[in-house]
Chains A and B, each alone.
Chain A
Amino acid sequence: MPPDLWALYTLMLKSRLFEEAITKLWHDGLISGEMHIGTGEEAIIAGVVAHLREGDAMALDHRGTAALLMRGIDPVLILRELLGYSDGLCGGMGGHMHLFSKEHMTASSGIVGAEGPTAVGFAISAQHLHPGAIAVAFFGDGAMNQGMLMESMNLASAWNLPVLFVCKDDGWAVTTQSEHVTGGDLIERARGLGVQAIEVDGHNVSEVWEACHSAIERARSGQGPTFLHAQCVHFEGHFLGFQLIRVVRDPLRETPKVAFPLTQAFLHPGGATLGERLAGLRLVLESVLATLRDPRRDSANEPVRRTRTILHVDAVRLQEMENQVEEDVNRTLESALVEVPA
C-alpha cells in the first residue's frame, strides 16, 4: 500500500511552519530556556505518526513539538504551553522539554534515553489493556549510548513487546560528533539485542512510512519490537541559539569571544606538549568545521522541499493545500498570542 503523500506533506509543512513561528517567538524572548526545534526531522515524525491510532502511545524526547502536533494535539495549547501560560497544554508547568498529553498517551522527557523505559512501560500496558496497540519511542543518536535505552531494547525483545524504537540520527550528541563516542554500528547493536532493525533515509517520508507500515503491523500482531534508524539533519542544531551554529552564521560577532581565551589557553605555560595541545585544538576546530560542512546545506536533506518536488506535478492542488496550511498555522498563532492570561 503506498502512502498518501499529500496527507504526509500536509503534516510536515504544518509542523515546519509551526516550528518556524516558535523559533521567532524564542528569538523575541517570549519562550524561555532551551528550545529544541525539530526542523529537518519532519519526514521521520510524519512517516511514523501517520500510522498511529487511538490507544497507541508515544514517548518523546526533548524535541517533541512536531510529534505532538502531528498526533493531533491542539497546536494552540502547545504554543501557549511554550509561552508559559496557565491555559497551556500543561498549565505552563512543564514547558517545551516536558510536554504531556494524557488523552493521547504521550509523555516527554528532557532526560536523554528516558524514552526507552517509557515506551516499554506503555507497551506492557498495551499488551494487557489495549491488545493491538503499540508504543513509539523517539530519540536521537546520542541516546543510543545511554544504558537505560539499551536495557529497554533488550527488555522489549525479551518480552516481545509492541515497541517501535525510532532513532533520529543527525550525527550529533549536543556538540559532540557521535562517531567520536560511539562504538560499532547501531543497526547491528539493535540486532544483537534481538530487535528487528531497519535502516531508512530519514529525509524520504515515503520510505519512512513504508518501513513503519510493516514494522507497526508486525508489532500490532504480537511479533515484537523494531528499531528504525533514520538519518536526518537538524537545521537549528541541538537547540535554538546553538553555539556552533552561531559561530558559523555570525562569525564576526561570535568568533572573537571564543578565539581569544582559546589562544590564551593554548599559549599558556604549564601543561601538555605542543603536539598534545595541537591535538586538542584540532578537536575544537573539528566540530566547527563539521558544522560548516554540515549536510544541512544540501537540498536533498530538506525533507519538506523534497516531498514538495514530487507533489509539484499537481501545482494547483499544491498551492491550494499550502495556502490552507499557512492559513491554519497563522490562525493558530493568532489564537495562541491573542490574550495573555492575568
Chain B
Amino acid sequence: MRTMFFTQAIDDALAQSMADDPCIILFGEDIQTIRRNLLVRFGPRRVRGTPISESAFLGAGVAAAMTGLRPVVEMYMVDFLGVCMDALLNHAAKIKTFSGGKWTVPIVVRAPCGGGYGDGGQHEQSLWGWLAHIPGLTVLVPSTPADAGGLMRAALQHDGPVVFLEHKLLSETWLEFLGSGGRRTVQFDVPAEGAKGAVPQKWKPLPIGKAILRRAGDDVIIISVGVGVHRAQEAAQALETEGISAGVLDLRTVSPLDKTAVCEAVAQTGRLLVVDEDYEGFGLSGELSAVVLETGISCRYARVCTQATIPYARHLEAQSLPNQQRICASVRQLME
C-alpha cells in the first residue's frame, strides 16, 4: 500500500489515465507551474497553459470534448466559475439532451474549493450545491486521497460533464501556494486523514454516486462531503464521550446523490444532521431533507452550514465554516 497526499493522489490518477488514453488533454491557467510534473511527462501538446480567459478556454473545452478529446479543464478556484458559467450551465449540461442523447460532453472541470486559510469570501466558496442544481452535471467532492484518485479515474471514464472539486484545505499544493506561501508562521486546521492517506497501487475508478459510511452510529447520522466529513468525524468522536453514538456518511458525490444510502442511514437512526460547507439556503442540506421526506421517512433534522459570505478575519471565518463545536451543539439539540 502506498500513501499519498491529496493532490498528489489526484495527479497520480490523472497521470495513469493520461498514459492509458491519449485523448485526455489538460489545460488551464498557470498549468506549467501547477501541473509541471504532468507537463514534463506528457509534453506541451497535451498539457497547456492558458491566458486568464475562462469563458474562452472552458467553452473551448466543452466543444473539444464534443469532438473526440477528453479535456481536463482546470479553474484556479471554483469561485471563478462565475466568470464563465455559461459554458457549463447552457452548454456542457444541455448538449446531450439537445442532441436527442446522441452527443455527449466528456469534460472534467477540476477546481479547488473551500475555505479555512483566510482568503476571504470571493476565494473560499464551496458552490457544489449551486453546480449540482443544474441537471446534466456530475459533481464530485472527495474527502480522502484514495477517494480523490479513484473519483478522478472515474471522472475520466464518464461520458458526461464532471465537476471535480478539490478542497484547498486538503490539498498540500494549493494550501502552500495560496495559504502559507512558504511561511511557518501561519497555522491551518487541516484534517490529517484527508490530507494524506493510503492509496491503491494502481488506480481503479470508484463508482460515481456512491456514498460511504465513515463511522457507524445508532443515535444520529451526520451526512457531509469534503472537509465537512472530517469535522463530522471529529465531532462524533467527541460526542462518544457524552454517550451519543453518531454515524458519519460521506456522500463523495453531490450529484447524482446516493439517495439509497442517505435514506437507509436516516431510517436507522431517526435523526439527520447535515454538515455542509456550502451555503445553507437552497442547497445540499435542503435537498437531503427533501429526499428523506419524499421517501416517507420521519426524522429529526438539523443542519450546520455556511450561512453568509465568508468573512476574511480568521476567527470569524472559523465560526462561519462548519466546525466541531457547532456540529456537537446541533447533535445535542437533536438528542433532546
Contact = CB atoms under 8 A, between A and B. Distances in A.
Interface of A: 26-29, 32-35, 81, 84-86, 90, 92-98, 109-113, 142-143, 145-148, 173-176, 180-182, 239-244, 246, 254, 258, 261-262, 264-266, 268, 270-273, 275-277, 279-281, 283-284, 287
Interface of A is mostly: loop
Interface string B113-140: 0000111111100000000000000000
Contacts of A173: 29-30, 51-52
A271 B41 contact: yes
Contacts of B33: 174-176, 243-244, 284, 287
Contacts of B55: 147
B118 A32 contact: yes
Interface string B33-55: 11011111111111101111111
Given A146-B53, A176-B29, A280-B47, A32 B41 contact: no
Interface residues of B, number: 55
Given A34-B119, A112-B52, A277 B83 contact: no
Given A97-B123, A175-B33, A280 B41 contact: yes
A34 B178 contact: yes
A241 B118 contact: no
Contacts of A276: 42-45
B18 A86 contact: no
B41 A111 contact: no
Contacts of A254: 182
B117 A33 contact: yes
A283 B44 contact: yes
29 contacts: A27-B183, A32-B179, A32-B314, A33-B119, A34-B178, A81-B312, A84-B315, A93-B121, A93-B312, A96-B120, A96-B312, A97-B122, A109-B122, A113-B52, A142-B52, A146-B53, A146-B83, A173-B51, A174-B52, A181-B51, A241-B180, A265-B36, A268-B15, A271-B41, A272-B41, A280-B42, A280-B47, A281-B39, A283-B39
Contacts of A28: 185
A253 to B, nearest CB: 8
Contacts of B79: 111
Contacts of A81: 312
B291 to A, nearest CB: 34
A93 B311 contact: yes
Contacts of B97: none
Contact of B122 (A27, A32, A110, A277): A110
B120 A33 contact: yes
Contacts of B100: none
Given A92-B311, A262-B40, A271-B42, A29 B183 contact: yes
Contacts of B180: 241
B44 A280 contact: yes
Given A174-B52, A239-B181, 8 more contacts: A96-B312, A147-B83, A176-B49, A241-B181, A261-B37, A268-B15, A271-B18, A276-B45
B329 interface: no
A260 to B, nearest CB: 10
A29 B180 CA distance: 9
Nearest to A82: B312
A137 to B, nearest CB: 15
B40 A265 contact: yes
B56 interface: yes
A280 B309 contact: no
B1 interface: no
A271 B123 CA distance: 34
A112 B179 CA distance: 19
A93 B53 contact: no
Given A265-B41, A283-B44, A284-B39, A98 B312 contact: yes
Interface in B276-313: 309, 311-313
A176 B39 CA distance: 14
A282 to B, nearest CB: 9
B32 A176 contact: yes
Contacts of B42: 271-272, 276, 280
Given A98-B120, A271-B18, A279-B44, A284 B36 contact: yes
Task: Determine which residue in B33, B44, B56, B313 has the highest number of CB atoms from chain A within 10 A of its CB, and name it.
Answer: B313
Given A93-B313, A97-B120, A98-B121, A111 B82 contact: yes
B41 A268 contact: yes
Nearest to B32: A283
Nearest to B37: A265
